[in-house]
């Protein structure tokens, strides 16, 4: 494996990596997946390595893919619930005997193991948009070993890797001429993160796709990330456009990526506190935004539906779409969390 320049690196956002570096990690991931299909063992890649996994939020795919992945590479995963220890805190947020400074936690864990992975977002940071990323960056500042972002309010790089791996399996390395219909959908909860949309489009923007992003006027994404997506598509032969109805995104699409996410204008720092009730009212204006059979039939006959999961059935997507042939890529995407993260770990953990 050619991993020069990657060993010892933090994996906090895809924006920290070049296209070539992302390709290297994906190449490793695809090889490891092929090996697993052939029942070839690769537990000699990271023997005796320890991965500390800090989950401030619940998880199915992320926890199990990381725990299985480090084991299959020869190491071991420690599942850490911060509530079962003392809450790691930033400077100025100490809680007497109830917390421990992140600088201390990071130095201790990095002296005992080989990598620290962290998931923190949403309620755990009072929906302060930038705070969860700052916490992960603070861990990275003090850690002597690589830090992996398992999702914050802004970024979900592990999901982005699995997404583009799935696209590569479907279409190859070059996505030029492929239309990705990406859309916001209705959802009953005002707590679904925006990070998966960010990293799906950012990761795909490296490969020449034509991204058509549908969302109600109030549901913009982070302007900084949107600018980065636009820059990438211009450099890589693709395109990016924003529309305000789902049909324009779904028409003649190769992929329909449809998911609900929060309204950034109803969260801190735009507002003084989260406004979930107002968000629910806003969402209700667009209750018809759902990935259903009618919209999928507008796409190409070979179209696939994608979603990071867990999805809200009958809100984001109908049962028929998810459980039919259209949903196959969605579950391949979930499986690829395992393989993509193995590719990342194999490349960055010394």
Range of the domain at 70: 14-154+338-348
Q: What is the pTM of this model?
A: 0.95
CATH code of 63's domain: 3.40.50.1370
Residue 8 lies in a domain: no
Q: What is the model's pLDDT at position 82? A: 77
The tens-digit pLDDT sequence of the chain (350 residues) is: 556 789 999 999 999 999 999 999 999 999 999 998 778 888 999 999 999 999 999 899 999 999 999 999 999 999 998 777 777 888 888 888 778 899 999 999 999 999 999 999 999 999 999 999 999 999 999 999 999 999 999 999 999 999 999 999 999 999 999 999 999 999 999 999 999 999 999 999 999 999 999 999 999 999 999 999 999 999 999 999 999 999 999 999 999 999 999 999 999 999 999 999 999 999 999 999 999 999 999 999 999 999 999 999 999 999 999 999 999 999 999 999 999 999 999 999 99
Q: What is the model's pLDDT at position 183? A: 98
Residue 4 lies in a domain: no
Q: CA 210, CA 81: separation in Å to the nearest integer?
A: 40
Q: CA 80, CA 56: separation in Å to the nearest integer?
A: 9
Residue 1 lies in a domain: no
User: 189 and 143 in one domain?
Assistant: no
Which DSSP string do the residues of 78-104 spell out, in sequence order?
EEE-GGGS-EEE-TT---GGGEEEHHH
User: 321 and 231 in one domain?
Assistant: yes
Q: What is the model's pLDDT at position 2? A: 56
Question: What does the CA dihedral 224, 226, 228, 234 come to, rounded to 10 degrees?
Answer: -150
User: 291 and 205 in one domain?
Assistant: yes
Residue 101 lies in a domain: yes
| Residues forming a β-bridge with 304 | 255
User: 150 and 176 in one domain?
Assistant: no
User: 217 and 150 in one domain?
Assistant: no
Q: What is the model's pLDDT at position 3? A: 63
Q: CA 103, CA 48: separation in Å to the nearest integer?
A: 25
**Exposed / middle / buried, residue 273 (Cβ in 10 Å: 0-12, 13-18, 19+):** exposed
Number of domains in the chain: 2
Which DSSP string do the residues of 94-141 spell out, in sequence order?
--GGGEEEHHHHHHHHHHH-SEEEEE--GGGGTT-TTHHHHHHHHHHH
């Amino acid at each position: 494996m050619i991993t020069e320049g990657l060993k010892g690196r933090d994996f906090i956002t895809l924006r920290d990596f070049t296209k070539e570096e992302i390709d290297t990690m994906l190449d490793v991931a695809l090889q490891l997946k092929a090996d697993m299909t052939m029942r070839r063992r690769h537990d000699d890649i990271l023997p005796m390595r320890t991965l500390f996994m800090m989950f401030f939020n619940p998880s199915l795919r992320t926890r199990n893919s990381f725990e299985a992945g480090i084991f299959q590479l020869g190491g071991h995963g420690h599942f850490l619930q911060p509530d079962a220890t003392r809450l790691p805190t930033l400077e100025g947020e100490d809680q007497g005997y109830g917390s421990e400074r992140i600088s201390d936690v990071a130095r201790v864990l990095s002296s005992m193991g080989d990598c620290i992975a962290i998931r923190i977002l949403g309620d755990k940071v009072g929906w302060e948009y930038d705070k969860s990323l700052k916490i992960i960056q603070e861990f990275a500042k003090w850690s002597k070993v690589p830090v992996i972002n398992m999702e914050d309010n802004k970024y979900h790089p592990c999901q982005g890797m699995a997404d583009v791996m799935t696209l590569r399996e479907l279409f190859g390395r070059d996505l030029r001429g492929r239309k990705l219909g990406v859309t916001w959908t209705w959802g009953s909860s005002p707590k679904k993160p925006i990070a998966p949309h960010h990293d799906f489009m950012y990761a795909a923007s490296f490969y020449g796709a034509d991204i058509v992003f549908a969302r109600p006027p109030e549901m913009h994404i982070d302007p900084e990330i949107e600018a980065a997506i636009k820059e990438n598509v211009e450099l890589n032969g693709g395109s990016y456009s924003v529309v305000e109805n789902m049909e324009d995104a779904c028409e003649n699409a190769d992929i329909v990526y449809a998911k609900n996410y929060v309204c950034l204008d109803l969260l801190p720092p735009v507002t003084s506190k989260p406004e979930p009730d107002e968000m629910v009212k806003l969402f209700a204006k667009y209750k018809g935004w759902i990935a259903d059979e009618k919209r999928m039939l507008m796409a190409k006959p070979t179209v696939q539906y994608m979603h990071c999961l867990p999805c809200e059935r009958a809100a984001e997507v109908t049962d028929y779409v998810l459980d039919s042939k259209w949903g196959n890529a969605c579950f391949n995407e979930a499986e690829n969390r395992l393989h993509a993260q193995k590719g990342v770990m194999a490349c960055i953990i010394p």
